[in-house]
Amino acid sequence: METVWQGIFNGLVMGWIYILVALGLTIVFSIMRIVQFAHGEIYMLGAYCTYWFSVVFGLNVFVALFFSAIVMSLVGIILEKFLFSRFRGQIDGSIIVAIGLILLLQTIAAIGFGTQDKWIPTTIPGSLNIWNIKIPWERALSVITGIILVFILFLFIRGTKMGQAMIATSQDIEAATLQGIDVNRVSMMSMAIGCALAAIAGGLMGAIFGVQPVMGSYAMEKGIAVIILGGLGSIWGAVIGGLLLGLIDGLVPLGSNTTVASIIGFTIIVLILIIKPQGFLGHE
Amino acid sequence: MNDEKSEAGELGRMKLNKHWGYLFLILIIFIIPVFIKSEYYLHILILSVINIILTCSLRAIAVTGQVSIGHAGFKCIGAYTSTLIAMRLGFSPYLSMLIGGLAALMVAGIIAYPITRVRTVYFSMLTMFLGIVVTLVTSEWRSLTGGTTGIINIPSFGTTTVFGIGIDFNNKLPNLYLALILMVVVLIFLYSLDRSYIGMTLKAISQDESLAASIGINVARSKAIIFCMGCFIAGLAGGFYAHYWGILNPDSFGLFHSIYLLIYMIVGGTDRFIGAVIGAFVLTLLPEVSRVFQEYQPLVFVAVLYLVVFLLPKGMIDLPHQMRFLLRMVYQDRVKRNA
Amino acid sequence: MLETKNLTKNFKGVQAVNHLNLIVNSGEIVGLIGPNGAGKTTVFNLITGYLRPTEGKVILNGKDITGQKPHVIAMKGIIRTFQLDRIFHNFNVIQNIEIASYLYAGIGLCEAIWNTSGYRNKYHETSQSAEKILKFVGLEDKRDEMARHLSHGHQKLLGIAIALAAKPKVLLLDEPLGGMNSSEVEKTLGIIGEIRKQGTAILLVEHNMQAVMKICDRIVVLNFGMEIARGLPEEIQKNQEVIQAYLGTKRLLPSIT
C-alpha cells in the first residue's frame, strides 16, 4: 500500500511539472495557432538558467527559479518578435522555425554546458513524512509551486485586462483586432508566460532528475500529450490531463517500468484522439 | 501566376519526347554511382535515396491536407516486420521487404478511417503519438525486437546473378542500385498519381473538403486510401533500410526522424512534386558535407532552414523563380541609373 | 423530384428548421426566402447530408435519402452551391470545372496512374464537357486564370459552373447573386433560366427579392425555421405576414416593380 501511495505522490510531482509545460504550450497554441515544438528546449534552457543562478551565483533555488523565469520570458519575447510572429497560424513555417530552434538551442547547450548531467542543489534537505510515505521536500515544493502558479495564471487571465485580451484573441483573432486589442502584444505576452512557466518546470525537474541538453524532447512529448488529453486551449483541461498522465507515469512503473507507462499514456491519447478529438474537456 | 499551366490539361497531350527526357534523366542517375569510389559517400547516397522515398510518400499523404508527424513509425513497422520474417521464418529479403510494407499498410488500414475523419491539427498530433508509441513498443517488446539494443546481423539481399554478372549485396554499390530502382518505381508511381485526375481530386480535397464532397468526391475514402499507400511505401523503405544496414534499433525511428522527413518536404517546397525529392536529397547530404564544422555542424543545418523559411517561403524549388525576380530587379535598377 | 417531409433540425434546443415540407419538380425554380437566420442554409445542409435532420425525411424520386453522406447524395444528383465563394482557390478556372466532373468521369485510381488509353479518353471527354460549361457560364476569357484571382462575381459564377459540371438533377443555389452588380445579376439569372430549361429542378435561396420574384415559379418563406407562407411570387408580395417578418428584422422588403 505504501508503494502505491508513493507512486501516486511521484505521479503528482510529475503531473504538476507536465502541467506547467503544457500550460505554456496550450497558451501559445490558442493565441498564435502554432504548436511550439521547441517548448521543450525553453524548458531545458530554463533548467540550465536555474542551475547557473543557483550554482554560479550561489542564489537560493527559489530566487534562481524566479530569475530564470524572467530571463526565459525575455527570451520568449525575443523569439516571438523575431521568429514566430511571422508564422502565426502557419503549420509549415512554424514547424521549421521550431525545429531549427531545437537544433540551435540543443547545440548551444551541449557546447556551452557540456553533455553530462548538472544538478541543481536543494535548499531544503530532508523529507516530509505523511502516512509513512517519505516525501522529499524538494518534490513536495514542486507540487506546491505548480499549484500556486496555476492559481496565479488563472487569476491573471480572469482578472486582468491583458488576460481578457488573451481570451478574446484565442477565440477570434479578427474580432479581437477589431476591438482594438494589440494582437502582437498579446502574442508576446503568451510567449513570455509560456516560457516562464516552462523555465520554472525545467528548474523544478532539474532539481529532481538533473539537467541535460536533451531533456527537452521528453517534456515536449508529455506536454503535448497533456494538452491533447485535456483539449487544446483549456487550462483546467491541462491540469486534469497533466494529473492523469502523471498518475499513469507514477503508478504503472510499480508493476513494470517507465516505458510501459509511456506506452499506456500515449496509447490512451491516440484512442482519445480517435474517439473524441477535442479531448475530454475540449470545448471547440 | 498566369504562367501556371493547367497540369491536367497537359496530361492528355503528354508527348513522347517528354518520356525520353525522363528516361535520359534516369539513365544519368544510374550512371553516376559508378564513378563514386568512396564507400562512405555511397552509404550517404543510399540513405538519401531512402529519405527521398520516404519524403515523397509523406508528401503524397500531405497533398490531401493531412500532415503526418509519425511517418517514421511506419518505416519502423516495415523494418522490424521485414527483419523478423527474414530472420525467423527464413524468407527471402525481397519478399520480406514487401511483407514489411504490407504490415505497415495493415496498421495504417486499421486506423485510416477513424484518423482521416479528424481535423488537420489533430491528425498531426495523432500520427505523432502513434509514431512515438510504435518506437516505444519496439524498445519494450524485447523478446521480439531486442529492445533498445536492437537487432544485428540482419540478412542482406545476398548474392544474385543477373545476365551472368555476379552481384554481391554485401557491397554498397549494388545496394545503391537496388535503392535507386525502388526509388524510380516509387517516384514514377507517385508522380503519375500526382499528375493524374485522381491526383487532382486529392488536391481538391485539401483545398475545400465540403466543396469536394458536394461534387461527389468521397473525401474520407480518398484520404484513407492515400494514407495507406503512403504508409505502405514507408514500410517498404523501412524493409529495405533494415536489409541494407543490417542493424536495427528503435532510436533510428523516433519522433525526430518523422519531423525531419516533414522538414525535407517543407524546405524542398510542397507546391511541386520535385520539391520533396530536392529537399530530401539536399538536406540529407548537408550534415555530411558540413562535417568540417564538427560540433557546430547542426548550426549549418539550422542556418539553411532559416534561410529557406525566411527567404524562400515556397521552398527550395522556388529558388530559380526568386533568383530571376532578384536579377530582374537589379537589372531594372541599372537601366534606370543609366537613363 | 425532390421532396422534404417534416424536415426538422434542433441545435441544442433551438429549432433551426421546423417541420418543413418542400417539393421541387424538375424544370421548376422554387425560391426559399426569409430574413437572415431563418434557417435557409440549414435546410440546404440537411438536404445535402452535411447535417443530419433531427426528424423528417428527404425524398428524391420517391426514394428516402435522409442522412446519407454528402458525396452519396451528390452521386444521386443533388448538387449544391455554397453561400461564400467556395471554389478550389489553387486551381485555375478550367481545372475547377474539370474536377467537378468527377462523378461522370468515372476514372479509377489504377487507370489514372497507368495512364491507359481508356483513362485518356475519359479525361478527354471530361475536358470537352468542362469547356462547354465554361462557355455556358461565359468565363471563356478567364479559362487559365487562378480561381483565387477572380473577381467576386466571377467566383460566384464559377461556383455555379462547378455545380453544373456535376450534372445536377436537383440544383440547390445558396445566394448565387450575393454581392454581384446588376449586369452580373442579369447574366446569372439568364444562366439559371437556361439550366431550368434543361429540366433541372432548382431550389434557390436569395436575398435579391427583385430577382427572386422575377425568376421563381413558387416561393416558400421561412422565419425562425418555420414556414410562414408559400405561393406564387405575386401572392408572397402581398402577404402581410411575410412583410411583417422582414420588418421585424429591420430589413424592408425591397420595393418590387
The predicted pLDDT at position B11 comes to 46
Q: Is the pLDDT of residue B232 over 50?
A: yes
Q: pLDDT tens for residues C63-93? A: 999 989 999 999 999 999 998 888 999 999 9
Q: What is the mean pLDDT of residues A111-117?
A: 85
User: d(Cα A261, Cα A263) in Å, to the nearest integer?
Assistant: 5
User: Is B299 near chain C, with CB under 8 Å?
Assistant: no
Q: What is the mean pLDDT of residues B24-52?
A: 90
Q: Is the pLDDT of residue A100 over 80?
A: yes
- Of C102, C107, C123, nearest to B12 by CB-CB distance is C123
Neighbours of chain C (3+ CB pairs under 8 A): B
The predicted pLDDT at position A232 comes to 78
Q: With CB atoms and an 8 Å threshold, state whether B210 touches C50.
A: yes
Q: With CB atoms and an 8 Å threshold, state whether B216 touches C149.
A: no
**What is the percent of chain B where pLDDT is above 70?**
94
The predicted pLDDT at position B16 comes to 54
Bridge partners of C15, per DSSP, are: C10
Q: Is the pLDDT of residue A205 over 50?
A: yes
**What is the percent of chain A where pLDDT is above 70?**
96
> Of the ranges A155-159, A252-256, C155-159, C215-219, which one carries the lowest mean pLDDT score?
A252-256
The predicted pLDDT at position C171 comes to 94
Res. A99 pLDDT band, cuts 50 70 90: confident
Bridge partners of B45, per DSSP, are: none
The predicted pLDDT at position C173 comes to 93
Residues of A in contact with B227 (CB under 8 A): none
Q: What is the 3-state secondary structure (H, E, C) of A142-189?
A: HHHHHHHHHHHHHHHHHHCHHHHHHHHHHHCHHHHHHCCCCHHHHHHH
Q: Is the pLDDT of residue A110 over 80?
A: yes
Q: Do A and B touch, counting CB pairs below 8 Å (3 needed)? A: yes
Res. C256 pLDDT band, cuts 50 70 90: very low
A235: Cβ contacts below 8 Å, ≥ 6 apart: A23, A26, A150, A153, A154, A157
Residues of B in contact with C50 (CB under 8 A): 210, 213
Neighbours of chain B (3+ CB pairs under 8 A): A, C
The predicted pLDDT at position B5 comes to 42
Q: Is the pLDDT of residue B148 over 90?
A: no
Q: With CB atoms and an 8 Å threshold, state whether C145 touches B2.
A: yes
Residues of C in contact with B193 (CB under 8 A): 109, 112-113
> Of the ranges A5-14, A181-190, B186-195, which one carries the lowest mean pLDDT score?
A5-14
Q: What is the mean pLDDT of residues A88-116?
A: 86
The predicted pLDDT at position B195 comes to 87
Q: Is the pLDDT of residue C250 over 70?
A: no
The predicted pLDDT at position B301 comes to 86
Q: With CB atoms and an 8 Å threshold, state whether C92 touches B6.
A: yes
- Of B1, B199, B214, nearest to C146 by CB-CB distance is B1
Q: pLDDT tens for residues A220-244? A: 999 999 988 888 778 888 899 999 9
The predicted pLDDT at position C243 comes to 79
Res. B339 pLDDT band, cuts 50 70 90: low
Q: Do B and C touch, counting CB pairs below 8 Å (3 needed)? A: yes
Res. A176 pLDDT band, cuts 50 70 90: confident
User: d(Cα C163, Cα B18) in Å, to the nearest integer?
Assistant: 35
Contacts 24+ apart (CB under 8 A), C232-237: C233/C31, C236/C33, C237/C213
Q: Is the pLDDT of residue B8 over 70?
A: no
The predicted pLDDT at position B236 comes to 96
Q: Is the sign of the CA dihedral B102, B104, B110, B111 positive or negative? A: negative
Closest-CA residue of chain A to B126: A270
Q: With CB atoms and an 8 Å threshold, state whether A259 touches B126.
A: no
Residues of B in contact with A217 (CB under 8 A): 255-256
Q: Is the pLDDT of residue A284 over 70?
A: no
Q: pLDDT tens for residues C8-54? A: 888 877 888 888 899 999 889 999 988 877 888 899 999 999 999 99
Q: How high is the ipTM of this complex?
A: 0.88
Highest mean pLDDT among A264-273, B53-62, C51-60, C113-122: B53-62
Which residue bears the cell 445542409? C45
Q: Is the pLDDT of residue C223 over 90?
A: no
